Copies of this chain bind each other. A is one copy, B any other.
Amino acid sequence: MGSGWDLSSSVEAVIAFREERDWGQFHLPKELAAGLAIEAAELQELFLWEPAERAEVTRNDSERLQSIRDELADVATFVIMLAHDLEIDLAAAVDSKLIANGRRYPADEYRGSSRKAPH
């Protein structure tokens, strides 16, 4: 079983689950990207019409937190399958994008600001 931020054994479990069901045949990258977007919408639906409360408040509502955890797990499962199938090093991809974002959003210029940088 995985733990925390090391997803190695979760990835193995996800891929084994898929192989046992012979579902890899349906999991073309385009379909996985669609599935990921659909799961992200289901996660977002948990927040629709709700006040935009701080994380501490959400954490104290254990039933609600459990629903969010379940939907976030669905999203993460699609991220894992897509990265696995395309042989994308997920940690390295996040790091590279962070470096690019650091150039696009210099800390001094964008501190405390939510505006978008020009493309």
Interface residues of A (CB under 8 A from B): 1-11, 13-14, 17, 20-23, 25-26, 28-31, 33-38, 40-50, 52-55, 58-59, 65, 68-70, 72-77, 79-80, 82-83, 85-98, 100-102, 105, 107, 110-112, 114, 119
Q: How many copies does the complex hold?
A: 4
Tell me the smallest distance from the CB of A18 to a CB of chain B, in Å. Answer: 10
Tell me the smallest distance from the CB of A59 to a CB of chain B, in Å. Answer: 6
Tell me the smallest distance from the CB of A54 to a CB of chain B, in Å. Answer: 6
B77 and A79 within 8 A (CB)? no
Residue in contact with A10 in the complex, picked from B3, B91, B119, CB distance below 8 Å:
B91
B2 and A91 within 8 A (CB)? yes
Residue in contact with A87 in the complex, picked from B3, B43, B59, B70, CB distance below 8 Å:
B59
> In whole angstroms, how far apart are the Cα atoms of A69 and B100 in the complex?
13
> In whole angstroms, how far apart are the Cα atoms of A45 and B33 in the complex?
9
A43 and B37 within 8 A (CB)? yes
> In whole angstroms, how far apart are the Cα atoms of A3 and B105 in the complex?
24
Q: Which residue of B lies closest to A9 (CB)?
A: B91
